[in-house]
Amino acid sequence: MLITPALVALHLIALCVSGALLLASGFAWTLLRHWDIASGSELQIRLERRTYLVSTLLGFVLGAELLSLLLFVHSAESLSSQFVGAMCATGVLNINAFGFPTLLLKIALFFLAALWLLLNRVDQQGHDYPLVRVKYALLLAIMPLALLELLLQSAYFLGLKPEVITSCCGSLFSAEGQGAAAELAGWPVRPALLAFYGMAGLLLGSGAALWRWPALGALFAAISGLTFVVAIAAIIAFLSLYVYENPNHHCPFCLLKAGYDYVGYALYLPLFAATAAGLGAGLLAPCRHIASLRRVMPGEMRWLTGVALAGFGAFYVLATALILRSNLILLG
């Protein structure tokens, strides 16, 4: 196993997040069984007070997951010098079977925590906490994922065995690494470009429709989620090629390096924020019928749709600019 400060920090974050969520889910369980807004019992008052702690804990989880996601990718990147055949983060994540699942779980947890906080935001605006049971049921679903992340991440780190010269006289030339840097499969450029811009059209259409017909929230959420997947696939399939100006370099992580002006942050941050808002819009759309939320929901939905469209818009504008600026010709 490797001991580096980044890995120690990642373990610490995973432990803090799992601890916070365990604490919150113990409470969620009591709440799901005993919550009764009409009651004035001591237990009910205690439960109401505890909700403040839980929402703060979830806010903390969201921040910690974001930090952990960034740190995880960065440390995979910086460990690439330690492994034969690993050129960048992709290679390091491929070293054992747990690398990519850990990354995907971190992304999933980030989105779930963001959705929980959106739900919480709306719930607190209704005088009778109408979404409290949905909220705490979601919390119980998030908790096992956090524990799984802790396990997978530990398994991944424990499985990292760097090949180094162990002594100046004993060791022989180290053997070529196996299976590392198995490049993510490329998708032919023309259909990928079509799908990429097709999604933009669909998204814009469904966003406009949602503005008019709030019942279409689920459709908008599904299209947002799909756009996220297509966008990541497009980054791997062609956008990275245009940025690196190299027809064989598909890595979605090297974009975060200083050598490419940290362009990855400008791409990923709006993409993640927009996806969270889009999914949130879909999740919250059914709440517009709840009596205590009828006043605030239209504003909330407009805000979420606006954030989603603005975020995706920023992503698409930047992506298009990168393609146009590039000296690489993939179609022609």
Partner 1 sequence: MPGASRYRDCDTVLLPAFPDQNEMRTWLERQNYLIDYTLAALLRRKTRNLGLLLVYTLLVFLFASVLLLSQGLRREAATLMQDAPELIVQKLNAGRHDLLPAAWLDTLRGIRGVSAVRGRLWGYYYDPAVKANYTLMVAPERGLTADAIMVGATLARVREVGVGDYLSLRAANGQPLPLKITALLDSTSELLSADLLLLSESAFHQLFQPPADTYTDAVLTVRNPREARTIAGKITLALPASRPILRAEILRTYDALFNWREGIVFLTLGTLLLAFLILAWDKAAGLSAEEKREIGILKAIGWETGDILRMKLWEGTLISLTAFLTGYALAYVQVFYGGARLFAPVLKGWAVLYPEFRLTPAVDLQQLLVLLAVTVLPYIVATLIPGWRAAIADPDAVMRG
Q: Which is nearer to partner 1, 53 or 321 (CB)?
A: 53
> In whole angstroms, how close is the CB of 77 to partner 1 at the nearest point?
8
* C-beta neighbour count of 52 within 10 angstroms: 10
Q: Which is nearer to partner 1, 68 or 90 (CB)?
A: 68
Q: Which is nearer to partner 1, 5 or 201 (CB)?
A: 5
> In whole angstroms, how close is the CB of 20 to partner 1 at the nearest point?
7
Cβ pair 111, 142 in contact under 8 A: no
> In whole angstroms, how close is the CB of 230 to partner 1 at the nearest point?
28
> In whole angstroms, how close is the CB of 198 to partner 1 at the nearest point?
30
Sign of CA dihedral 25, 26, 27, 33: positive
Q: Which is nearer to partner 1, 74 or 204 (CB)?
A: 74
What is the Cα–Cα distance from 332 to 328, expressed in whole angstroms? 11
Q: Rounded to whole angstroms, what are the CA distances from 113 to 54, 65, 132, 139, 207?
A: 12, 9, 15, 9, 23
> In whole angstroms, how close is the CB of 296 to partner 1 at the nearest point?
7
DSSP state for residue 179 in the 8-state scheme: S
> In whole angstroms, how close is the CB of 7 to partner 1 at the nearest point?
8
- Which residues touch 112 (CB under 8 Å, ≥6 apart)? 138, 141, 142, 145
User: Structure tokens of 287?
Assistant: 């709440």
> Hey, what amino acid is at 25?
S
DSSP assignment of 216-251:
GHHHHHHHHHHHHHHHHHHIIIIIHHHHHT-TT---
Cα 273 from chain centroid (whole Å): 9
What b/e string do you get for 190-203 counting C-beta neighbours within 10 Å, with b at 16 or more? eebbeebeebbebb
Q: Which is nearer to partner 1, 165 or 229 (CB)?
A: 165
Q: Which is nearer to partner 1, 120 or 240 (CB)?
A: 120
> In whole angstroms, how close is the CB of 145 to partner 1 at the nearest point?
19
Applying CB under 8 A, the residues found at the interface with partner 1 are 2-10, 12-13, 16, 19-20, 49, 52-53, 56-57, 60, 64, 67-68, 70-71, 74-75, 78, 81-82, 121, 124-125, 162-165, 168-170, 172-174, 176, 296, 299-300, 302-303
Q: Which is nearer to partner 1, 96 or 124 (CB)?
A: 124
